[in-house]
Amino acid sequence: MSSDTSGSGYETPTGVPSKKQKRKYSQKYSKSWENDEEFKKWLKSSKKSANFAYCGVCKVDLTIQAGKTDLRKHANSKKHKENCVVVSRQPSVFDMPGSIRKQKETDAVKTGQASQAPTPLPDSVAVP
């Protein structure tokens, strides 16, 4: 007679039957997610490993064990939503000097102080 009384065929080293172990599959980052409308404004690949994604808004590495589900979960989190609002209000570094200059020009036009004379050229520029 056999000592295996369970029908599973799996035994631990002590001879006690065990439950069948589920396999864990690791999800890897997919570059195509960056083109998805849901994620393209904030998602980047992580430098940590292929099993992580990076949120550019929150500045955190996200585990992606369940793929897009984990990304959606993060996108719907309170922290991410608050950070998105803050980032959307913040002007771009490249827009700052131009926006200040444009505001001054707009104010000058509104008050009628805009100069109609052409801007003089520096002495080092030769005019033909």
Task: Give the model confidence (pLDDT) of 16-41 as tens digits.
Answer: 666 677 777 778 999 999 999 999 99
Q: What is the pLDDT of residue 2?
A: 46
Residue 47's alpha-carbon distances to 4, 38, 51, 54, 55, in angstroms, are 48, 21, 10, 8, 12
Tokens of 101: 């200059």
Consecutive H or E run containing 81 = helix 78-89
Neighbours of 60 (CB within 10 A): 15
Q: What long-range pairs does 63-66 form, CB within 8 A, spacing at least 24? A: 64/27, 64/28, 64/29, 65/26, 65/27, 66/27
Task: Give the model confidence (pLDDT) of 35-78 as tens digits.
Answer: 999 999 999 999 999 999 999 999 999 999 888 999 999 999 99
